[in-house]
Structure 1
Amino acid sequence: MDLQQNDFDRLLFFEHARKTAEAAYSSNPLDADNLTRWGGALLELSSFQSGDDSIKMVKDAISKLEAALEVNPSKHDTLWCLGNAHTSHAFFTQDRETAMGYFDKATQCFQQALELAPELHLELQKQMASQQASQGTTSASNVKAPKKKKSSDLKYDILGWVILAVGIVVWVGLAKSHGPPPPPR
């Protein structure tokens, strides 16, 4: 029951973020941060949809993120989020060739984000190294642990990173948008 409540809370949070970004867009359609928040919220909300609705929401997220990059092409967080959106789109695509095209687009976005923010790469490498170290000690103590991961584990790992990255982008965006009010003139 607690997991269902967490999902409901996430749904409400990202729906609020989507509505807030949509309202802010009407007053400033050239705000790249807002477009990134909007796209990130749509991407998160797509996980609560099914079938064609989910794909439509991912496509909407991609269009918002691409619009943000038109305003500011050097936003590494937008590129990262767009890479996650293309990855999600690939997972929803049944045709292998088409899915590989989306994975290629995602790779390009991640590479561009890396070029714009090398410190992000270093941080991710540190996190992955610490994860591998902790997994190594766990598997060393358990002799019966399988040596190869199943291919489905990779899918869940990628999806987990996608959700984490989108959540961070949305959280940072919301934190920026709820700063202190400007002083009275």
Structure 2
Amino acid sequence: MDMSSDFDRILFFEHARQTCESTYSLSPLDADNLTRWGGVLLELSQFQNGADSKKMVQDAMDKLEEAISINPQKHDAFWCLGNAYTSNAFLIPDLEDAKEYFDKAAHAFEQAFEMDPTNDLYKKSVEVAAKAPELHIEIHKRDLAQQAMAASSSAAASIKQQVANKFKRNELKYDILGWVILAVGIVAWVGLAKSNLPPPPPPR
């Protein structure tokens, strides 16, 4: 996706987020609005990095859980919550820790499908949820490999730079040391030469 369409998406979802926030201040028990808000936060989380993305996904989970507490039959909120749990699980590098959220996601997708068994998207989500832990392993293995490659290349660049800097410092040090040794050598040679001069001829 090109930069302009990403930028347009961010603007669109940011506007939607602000609208949901305004609606919530007027009507905090609107489960539809909370579901929309959770979905919008999930979309926006894709454009964040690290901790910001995780925080936005957590906010999305909170909004969707709130929507379900208001309307426990809201299948689209369960489906969105399943996506939020899945997103959160993928942000956790350790599979054992992530598994808790994959399990919650699978349960949320199943509940959405039970409430609306004709919805193909819910059915597909249940199927995909079972494969999520396997995908998690692949993604984080690839990430670790990329991080290792990046680390090794940056380490190599860093070592190269350090060696270059050291070499420059050493060059200067050896230049200065060379001149000092030469100067000391000349002084010593002159001193030695003076001490080894033949005695002056006796006066006549």
Query: Which TM-score applies when normalising by structure 1?
Result: 0.65
Asked if structure 1 preserves the Cα contact closer than 8 Å seen for 2:46 and 2:53, the reply is yes
The residue number in structure 1 matching 2:65 is: 66
* Equivalent residues in 2 for 1:68-147, closer than 5 Å: 68-121=67-120
Q: Distance in 1 between matches of 2:50 and 2:118?
A: 37
Instruction: Sort the Cα spacing of 1:58 and 1:34 in 2 relative to 1 into closer, same or farther, 3 A.
Output: same
The residue number in structure 2 matching 1:45 is: 44
Amino acid at match of 2:57: V
Instruction: Sort the Cα spacing of 1:15 and 1:104 in 2 relative to 1 into closer, same or farther, 3 A.
Output: same
* Equivalent residues in 2 for 1:1-20, closer than 5 Å: 3-20=2-19
The residue number in structure 1 matching 2:56 is: 57
Instruction: Sort the Cα spacing of 1:122 and 1:84 in 2 relative to 1 into closer, same or farther, 3 A.
Output: closer
- The one-character-per-residue Cα deviations of 1:80-127 (angstroms, maximum 9, x if unpaired) are 0000000000000012111011000000000000000001138856xx
Q: Distance in 1 between matches of 2:63 and 2:97?
A: 21
Instruction: Sort the Cα spacing of 1:118 and 1:25 in 2 relative to 1 into closer, same or farther, 3 A.
Output: same
Count residues in correspondence. 130
For the residue of structure 2 that corresponds to 1:119, the secondary structure is: coil
RMSD across aligned positions (CA):
2.2
Greater RCO, 1 or 2 (C-alpha within 8 Å, sep 6+): 1
The residue number in structure 2 matching 1:144 is: none
Unaligned runs of 5+ in 1: 129-149, 156-185
Asked if structure 1 preserves the Cα contact closer than 8 Å seen for 2:41 and 2:56, the reply is yes
Instruction: Sort the Cα spacing of 1:105 and 1:124 in 2 relative to 1 into closer, same or farther, 3 A.
Output: closer
* Equivalent residues in 2 for 1:151-162, closer than 5 Å: none
Q: Distance in 2 between matches of 1:12 and 1:53?
A: 17
Question: Structure 1: which 4+ aligned runs deviate by more than 3 Å?
Answer: 121-125
The structure whose Rg is larger is 2
The residue number in structure 2 matching 1:27 is: 26
Q: Distance in 2 between matches of 1:21 and 1:54?
A: 19
Q: Distance in 2 between matches of 1:105 and 1:96?
A: 14
Q: Distance in 2 between matches of 1:151 and 1:27?
A: 41
Instruction: Provide the identity percentage.
Output: 58
For the residue of structure 1 that corresponds to 2:2, the secondary structure is: helix
Asked if structure 1 preserves the Cα contact closer than 8 Å seen for 2:39 and 2:80, the reply is yes
Deviation, 1:151, is 5.1
Unaligned runs of 5+ in 2: 128-133, 140-204
Amino acid at match of 2:58: K
